[in-house]
Amino acid sequence: MPPSCKSKCHGGPGYASPQDVIEGPREEVLFVTAPHAADGPDAIFTVDVNPDSDKYCQATEKRSHLIVPCLNSDRIYVINVEDERNIYLQHTIEPSKLHALNLSFPHTSHCLADGNIMISTLGEADGKPSGNFLLLDGKTFEPKGTWPADGKVVPFNYDFWYQPRRNIMISTEWGSPNHIKKGFNPAHVPEGLYGNSVHIFEWDSKKHLQTIDLPMPHGALPLEVRFLHEPTSENAFVGCALGSAIYRVHPNEQNPSSQVATMVSAIPSKKVSGWCLPEMPALITDILISMDDRFLYVSCWLHGDIRQYDISDPVNPKLNSQVYIGGSIHSESEVKVLDEDTVIPALYVKGRKIEGGPQMVQLSLDGKRLYVTTSLYKKWDDQFYPSHTKTGATMLQVNIDPTTGKMELNTEFLVDFGKISGGPYLAHEMRYPGGDCTSDIWI
């Protein structure tokens, strides 16, 4: 029952603007969700990222408030993190309470200004695809109902981001929960079991306004969505996993009351041998925007690279830096890239071979350090990186030059979730105690 995207709910991060965040103190700990690689219980770890600490790069398992939805079990855990180094399980929302609302497969959570917590759900109680949003009471953590005012659902769901000053919310699409759980079958995409659309909602009225169908093949599986942090910005970016493309969602110049999606970058598939298909997509599984809205980070789980785009001009993103972390096409892989002479060396950090590829990313608030984990979803890990589920996931750190933005792997930082007692674990999502680039929204 892997934990999916989670949020930290409290009385506010204490920062009036993104710039205040950037000038704040350095991060000391990260909370990391870690499904078990075999049949053991999943875990939440506190990872010490303070280089002056005697527990630097160590993960502590403990059981305020992190909201942790679990895809497979339909449970939602509430973790108390008031003492960030001694966190504990405070409350559990059982599957029956979601099923009573005909909901399942909870994923992304955000805290709302009215004190409620909103969680995207991908399925009906029986696992058939249906995009909806669960509301939790921010004090009791009990379900209050669903968010859409008219009860309207969308065909698929996954991530969502709202921009209150623009009175807009955007949601994305993954696929059918019953089929996701069985692993990825490419034939299911043309059969309509995975999505290629983004949905536009009016924030204050909670009404669905528009569906934008992203052209195939580039628009396949639009997963993560991020607005720029500047609260009046009209620009959002969407990363399409299978399509390996980035779209900018923005107002239609001819009709500003509606939105359009413009493709601003596409990563070509690689012609390969020794793999399940003749061409391998990059598989964009996470995107992140730096707090100063300067850079967009894109993780390519199969190709193995993290790409950093300069989005100072959101209309014309430019690739600025690139770093490789694992992936499927390195020098020790059985997969061979055709028609390319450059060979990416396998990555070893402190003697540990890095399996899997760059999946979830989290950036320090000052933009100088990027943290990376390597697990996507256990069933899909089994399929694409079978050795990864045997050895466990890793967490790595990439240093960012504050002037040029150039990325460079920190070869002295490694958290090995395969060596933690009770493991191996598959490290996934990361969150800071006081807010971060992937959860903070200014109202």
What is the full DSSP assignment across 41-63? --EEEEEE--TTSTTTT-EEE--
Task: Answer yes or no: are the C-beta atoms of 46 and 84 closer than 8 Å.
Answer: yes
Question: Quick one: which H or E segment has residue 179?
Answer: helix 177-180
Q: What is the pLDDT of residue 16?
A: 65
pTM as predicted:
0.91
Q: How far apart are the first and last CA of the chain?
A: 33
pLDDT tens digit string along 299-308? 999 999 999 9
Which residue is listed with tokens 């990313």?
Answer: 361
- The predicted structure's pLDDT at residue 10: 45
Query: CA 370, CA 406: separation in Å to the nearest integer?
Result: 12
Does 60 score more than 80 pLDDT?
no
Sequence-distant (6+) residues with CB within 8 A of 358 are 299, 300, 301, 304, 305, 306, 325, 326, 327, 372, 374
- Under the banding of pLDDT at 50, 70 and 90, the label for residue 25 is confident
Out of 9-18, 28-37, 56-65, 399-408, least confident range: 9-18
pLDDT of residue 3: 45
pLDDT digits 0-9 by tens, 103-146: 999 999 988 888 899 999 999 999 999 999 999 998 899 999 99
Q: Chain-wide mean pLDDT for the chain?
A: 90
pLDDT band at residue 386 using 50, 70 and 90 as cut-offs: very high
- Going by the DSSP 8-state scheme, the letter that residue 356 receives in this structure is S
**Does the pLDDT at position 11 exceed 70?**
no
Element (H, E) at 384: helix 378-384
295-300 vs 305-310, strand pairing mode: antiparallel
> Of 14-23, 114-123, 180-189, 377-386, which gets the smallest average pLDDT?
14-23
CB 239 within 8 A of CB 158: no
What's the mean pLDDT in 216-238? 96
At 231-254, the pLDDT tens digits run: 999 999 999 999 999 999 999 998
Q: Give the residue among 190, 172, 180, 199 at the shortest CA–CA distance from 128.
A: 180
- The partner residues of 323 in beta bridges, in order of sequence, read 306
Q: How many C-beta atoms surround the C-beta of residue 207 within 10 A?
A: 13
Output the pLDDT for position 87. 78
Tell me the mean pLDDT in the region 406-428: 95
Averaged over 84-105, what is the pLDDT? 91
Tokens 């934990």 label which residue? 3
| CA–CA distance, 438 with 291 (Å, rounded to integer) | 9
The pLDDT, as a whole number, for residue 410 is 97
Domain boundaries, the chain: 27-60
Q: Decide if pLDDT at 367 tops 90.
A: yes
Greater model confidence, 238 or 438: 238
**Residue matched to tokens 């395969």:** 418
